[in-house]
Amino acid sequence: MKASTAKIIQIAATIITVLALLFIVVLVVSRSNLFDRGFFRLSLGGEGGAFETSGSYEVTEAIQNVSVEWISGHVSILLDDGDTIRFEEAANRAIEEQDALFYETNGNTLCIKYTRPGFSLFNWNRPSKTLTVYWPRQALAALSDVRIETVSAPIEIPEFAVQNTVRLETVSGRVDAGSLKAADILLESVSGSISLSDGAADRIQADAVSGEIDLTSAEARYIQAESVSGQVRIWLDGIDAFALDFDSVSGRQQVGEGLVQRSDADLRIAVDTVSGSLQIEKAR
């Protein structure tokens, strides 16, 4: 009898613990607006089928800031010779109204989201979608900040320039940036790789957990990279000297020929890893 009572008490305690943890998770999520961002919409739609354009949009207002929140598929920003901001989404199948992207302009800020904000815990058939933004070259001078956040969607920007900050963040997608010019360039991925082929900024920062980091710059004053297990490679174009602060548990450091470490150099490099190695070379 005592054993049976003890077992019942144990089961009850387990249930209470699970409910308490669930309550905490819901509380944290609700305060973080993750439901609005679509993080907890379950999709079994997959990547099957060819992607076809399902919606085209145009913005004529003067825009200084851009914010994109995307879940799965692919996000890219391309420069365009037109005079208006255009963007389109493509899906692997026909989409319904509730699955279409949502956008709004708030003052001089353009916000684009994967779907209209709202609470939806389960969606068993959400399509995978790509987003392509066409930005007028003539409008670059007025652009201040760009922020793109994705969950499992790669981010691709071949060429772009802003006055202040470019921030590209993804969970499992890769970050593939070409020629970026800004005061600050911030790149972040958990398991995806990070690549910057031509970064011109006062500060370049790249953070990854297991993904590799490749950074190339000819004009940066400060480069910072953090990785747990991914390798960090930094390519310097036209820069011969730098000050280095490398902190790692077991990662190795390699500096290529023709490069000099000097404490008074104009370029400062700070890299932290656990097991990831660091390689600094002259750009090819």
pLDDT in tens, 28-46: 333 344 434 444 433 333 4
How many whole angstroms separate alpha carbon 51 and alpha carbon 94? 9
Alpha carbon separation from 199 to 106, 253, 260 (Å, rounded): 29, 22, 21
Average pLDDT over residues 227-232: 96
Q: Residue 250: what residue type?
A: S
Phi, psi (deg, nearest 5) at residue 7: -65, -40
The structural domains of the chain, with segments of one domain joined by +, span 2-32, 52-282
What is the per-residue pLDDT for 123?
53
Of 125 and 234, more confident: 234
pLDDT at 3 over 50: no
**Contact between residue 148 and residue 75 where contact means Cβ atoms under 8 Å apart:** yes
Q: How confident is the model at residue 95 (pLDDT cuts 50, 70, 90)?
A: confident
Strands 232-236 and 278-282, bridge-based pairing: parallel
What is the per-residue pLDDT for 125?
63
How many whole angstroms separate alpha carbon 38 and alpha carbon 54? 20
Strands 52-59 and 129-136, bridge-based pairing: unpaired
What is the per-residue pLDDT for 86?
97
Q: Which range (17-21, 79-83, 105-109, 185-189) has the least confidence? A: 17-21
pTM of the predicted model over 0.85: no
Of 47 and 265, more confident: 265
Of 211 and 24, more confident: 211
The fold of the 52-282 domain, in CATH, is: Pectate Lyase C-like (2.160.20)
How many C-beta atoms surround the C-beta of residue 58 within 10 A? Answer: 11
The DSSP-derived string for 6-51 is HHHHHHHHHHHHHHHHHHHHHHHHHHHTHHHHTTT-B----S-S--
